[in-house]
């Protein structure tokens, strides 16, 4: 492949984010290759949220063996790598977005007040404390049938 294609700054593979993700993937593979296959499987299941008893049942191991495997240093390192990778792939959560908006509001408070106000408005929308101006126009009428029974025009 020509070098200019490999060095294209607009190609997604050349972005810092993708390079970091690929670096974490390589580190996961390197860490996993030094471990027993069932240890790696146990760590992956634990990261996915499975309890030790379920992992032991699926892998046909004792609870103690699973616990010992998960407490090994290499298993802890693999777990940390997998959790880091999952967080990077999931992207920012609500707390990250709120923090980013708050930083924008603070940074632009004196320079561009409109940007700061917009950031605070977005935070308020996320928290549900800000109304967009739309009103609930639904009308609910309850009629007591014993006082006003249905007539011929009611359907």
Whether pLDDT at 143 is above 70: no
**pLDDT on residue 39:** 96
HEC states along the chain?
Answer: CCHHHHCCCCCHHHCHHHHHHHHHHHHHHHHHHCCCHHHHHHHHHHHCCCCHHHHHHHHCCCHHHHHHHHCCHHHHHHHHHHHHHHHHHHCCCHHHHHHHHHHHHHHCCCCCHHHHHHHHHHHHHHHCCCCCCCCCCCCCCCCCCCCCCCCCCCC
Please report, for the chain, the start and end positions of each structural domain, with discontinuous segments joined by +: 9-90, 92-145
**pTM strictly above 0.75:** no
Residues 53-77, mean pLDDT to the nearest whole number: 95
Q: Which of 8-22, 27-41, 47-61 has the lowest mean pLDDT?
A: 8-22
pLDDT band at 131 (very low <50, low <70, confident <90, very high): low
8 Å CB contact between 125 and 101? no
Q: What is the mean pLDDT of residues 128-148?
A: 66
Per-residue confidence (pLDDT) for residue 155, from 0 to 100: 61
Of 114 and 151, the one with more pLDDT: 114
For the stretch 41-51, pLDDT in tens is 999 999 999 99
Q: What number does CATH give the domain 9-90?
A: 1.10.10
**pLDDT tens sequence across 5-16:** 777 888 888 888
Mean pLDDT of the chain: 86
pLDDT of 138: 72
Greater model confidence, 5 or 22 = 22
């Amino acid at each position: 492949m020509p070098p200019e294609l490999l060095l294209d700054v607009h190609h997604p593979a050349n972005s810092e984010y993708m390079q970091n993700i690929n670096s974490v993937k390589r580190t996961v593979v390197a860490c996993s290759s030094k471990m027993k296959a069932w240890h790696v499987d146990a760590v992956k299941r634990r990261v996915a949220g499975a309890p030790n008893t379920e992992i032991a049942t699926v892998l046909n191991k004792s609870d103690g063996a699973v616990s010992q495997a998960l407490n090994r240093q290499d298993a802890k390192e693999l777990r940390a790598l997998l959790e880091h990778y999952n967080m990077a792939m999931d992207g920012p959560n609500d707390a990250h977005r709120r923090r980013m908006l708050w930083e924008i509001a603070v940074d632009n408070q004196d320079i561009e007040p409109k940007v700061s106000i917009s950031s605070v408005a977005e935070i308020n929308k996320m928290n549900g404390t800000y109304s967009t101006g739309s009103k609930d126009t639904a009308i609910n009428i309850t009629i007591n049938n014993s006082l006003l029974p249905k007539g011929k025009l009611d359907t």
